[in-house]
Amino acid sequence: MLRIEAGGTPSIEVRGRDKKYKWLTPQQAIEAWFDLLEVSTSPERTLHLKRMILQGTAFVDPDKVEGLFGTRIVERKEDRPEGEDCFSYTIGHGVDVREFHDHLFANSQESDVPVSGAYAVYFEYFKRVPVHIGRVTKQGTVISRWGPTAHVYEHEPDLAPLSYGEPRFFLLVYLYTSGVDSP
């Protein structure tokens, strides 16, 4: 759980083995996750920890995401419109997101693996609710904007912030036209 104290300092609640709660700064939490990563023996746990580290690092200092697990900055947040999110970046400003998703799900081929040019849509865990979107590159990576306070990054499909959920890939069969900026 994330908490912001009166002084504006964010902290993260962590439960230890003794069931007592301890408050860590985001930087302390990231350091703890790196320590756990060193001893992780499960591929699923390792992926989970990497995604937690990416999310925490993007929150603390978006510049420090550069190079983490192969992630690179494609465009700086200062060079993008203020308040822009992943949907505006990927599908265009002024596009009705619900209408776009309805069209995407009805007119595309869904895949478990990244396909060049496909939309990478990240769904809330155990639900079919899209929370993040990016585009798959020719190299099989994804380019996406990690919220209005972070940069645009190129990253492995499975290495997006943990809160974005699980990716699925959609290659449009019929082009979407909305009369505004095209993707």
DSSP assignment of 81-98 equals -TT--HHHHHH-TT--HH
Structure token pair of residue 149: 């306070």
User: pLDDT digit of tens for each residue in the chain (183 aa)?
Assistant: 444 444 455 555 555 555 555 677 788 888 888 888 898 889 999 999 999 999 999 998 999 999 999 999 999 999 999 989 999 999 999 888 889 988 888 889 999 899 999 999 999 877 878 999 999 999 999 999 999 899 999 999 999 999 999 899 998 875 555 544 444
Q: Give the integer Cα–Cα distance in Å for 33 and 157.
A: 20
Domains of the chain: 66-172 (3.90.1720)
The answer to whether the CB of 142 falls within 8 A of the CB of 129 is no
N-to-C CA span, the chain: 35
C-alpha distances in Å from residue 30, one per residue of 14, 26, 27, 116, 157: 12, 6, 5, 32, 21
